[in-house]
Amino acid sequence: MVLTPGCWPGWIGLIVFLGLAIFYIAWAWGKFPISAYIAISGPLALIGLLFGIHMTINRQKVL
């Protein structure tokens, strides 16, 4: 896979948002009910996944 300048924001968003979601769950595990993890980490993970989906769609257009 060739990394073009246009795909860097997608990779950064994917790694940062998914990383934040995983970090929060690891850091706060056992301190709150499961609904708190879903409410805080869920949107972060969703945004990260949307970055990944956007990269996949754009890569198919370029190829």
Torsion sign across C-alpha atoms 30, 34, 35, 37: positive
Nearest-angstrom CA–CA distance, 56 and 32: 35
Higher pLDDT, 63 or 42: 42
The pTM of the full predicted model, rounded to 2 decimals, is 0.76
Nearest to 40 by CA among 23, 24, 18, 26: 24
Amino acid sitting at position 15: I
For residue range 9-31, list pLDDT tens digits in order: 778 889 999 999 999 999 999 99
